[in-house]
Amino acid sequence: MPRTLLCLARHGETNWNIERRFQGQFDIALNARGRAQAAALARELSGAHFDRVYSSDLRRALATAAPMARARGLEVAKTPALREKDDGVWQGHTHAEVQATFADIYPHYLAREADFAAPQGETLDYFAQRVRKALTQIAKESAGKTVLVVAHAGVLDIAWRLAAGKGLAEKREHPVLNATPNWIAYEDGKWSLVDWAKPDGRAEIAAPWDGRALPRREAARALIVNEKGEVLLIRYAGGLTPHFLALGHHHFWATPGGVVKEGESYEAALRRELYEETGLTKLEHGPVVATRDFPMEIGEDWHQAIERYYLVRVRAFTPAPRDLTPEEKTHILGWRWWSADEIGASHELIFPEGLEALLRKVTM
């Protein structure tokens, strides 16, 4: 069988990378640095020839692959088998949260035990077999060609082990860098390592918030869920970044809530915001079901967003906003109850990231 050359690249950075949050198979978008990394990778590989482009079907990988495929007039072959490892109920949580909550089993994850799986997730051994099968299929159907494969850190880790002949528990020599080319080959049924990227000497891709002391922006938001398992989202206008405007978005959907005022608790802010945006009073909110801590672009400036999402269970109702300012009245365009399936199938701009999976978790 002729030699097949594969260029492997991890997707660009996401906010969940910054937060050290298990992404797994949640469909999280690139952040500003990630988009810049994708563009930089396209420039770095501008002189390379590729016959085909394959990508995980998750949008952080697709958005990284798209510039390179477009420049060559190639279609991206969306490949679900190249998704990141499924980490089950850990997905959406930070490593610190998982370590605290699953203290008894987290060490098995750190030890890279082949038969260990996070609750409702897949084992490392199963994941490795999935990746090996997918890469081998790509190599065989592209025999003698040069292909680009864009996927995730876990996928590239397995690819390196295949090519370097290393076991699942052995220490990897170098990190898997975002949006950086790595090369392996497949010939006569065997994998070999051609070149693996090292961090030394590589230029750092800047983000707009680098080197800045960002002001904190604390916010309380509500995940309002009705008896059908649907979540209430408000349709907002304004406040979109140039990136989203360039993609054709002129409004967005988000959970109700807003900024915590000086001297106000998160819970008090939640009650106030819900009264203003939905008319709900005498609120009995549930637990915090998600937290966020990431750089957020607001207007022409950046803030460090610290957000808490509270679960609120209600019967379906018609929102009746109260005490809105004229500006707020023009900013809020409407509302709608959404199922997890509708969120997953929609091409609308919906916040927070990972809402579909979060909704499925709280309605199980």
Active site annotation includes 11:
yes
- CATH fold label, 216-362: Nucleoside Triphosphate Pyrophosphohydrolase (3.90.79)
Strand-pairing partners, residue 337, are 232
* Cβ-Cβ contacts under 8 Å for 171 (sequence gap 6 or more): none
Per the omega criterion (within 30 degrees of 0), is the bond before 352 cis? yes
Of 6, 41, 27, 12, which Cα lies nearest the Cα of 131?
6
Of 21, 30, 26, 18, which Cα lies nearest the Cα of 10?
30
What is the pLDDT, as a whole number, of residue 27?
94
Which run of H or of E encompasses 164? Answer: helix 153-164
Active site annotation includes 108:
no
What is the pLDDT, as a whole number, of residue 238?
75
Catalytic residue among 11, 93, 152, 285: 11
Burial category of 351 from C-beta neighbours within 10 Å (exposed 0-12, middle 13-18, buried 19 and up): middle
Residue 333's CB is within 10 A of a number of other CB atoms, namely 15
What is the pLDDT, as a whole number, of residue 291?
94
Q: Which CATH superfamily is domain 4-195 in?
A: Phosphoglycerate mutase-like (3.40.50.1240)
Single-letter code of the amino acid located at 80: P
What is the SS3 string spanning 39-90? Answer: HHHHHHCCCCCCCEEEECCCHHHHHHHHHHHHHHCCCEEECHHHCCCCCHHH
What is the pLDDT, as a whole number, of residue 13?
98
- pLDDT means over runs of 10, the chain (364 residues): 94 97 95 97 97 98 97 98 97 96 97 97 98 98 98 98 96 92 97 95 92 96 97 90 85 96 96 94 89 90 96 94 84 94 94 94 89
What is the pLDDT, as a whole number, of residue 50?
98
**Does residue 148 contact residue 54 with C-beta atoms inside 8 Å?**
yes
Domain boundaries of the chain, sorted by first residue: 4-195, 216-362
Quick check: helix, strand or coil at residue 260? coil
What is the pLDDT, as a whole number, of residue 247?
83
Catalytic residue among 13, 84, 122, 353: 84
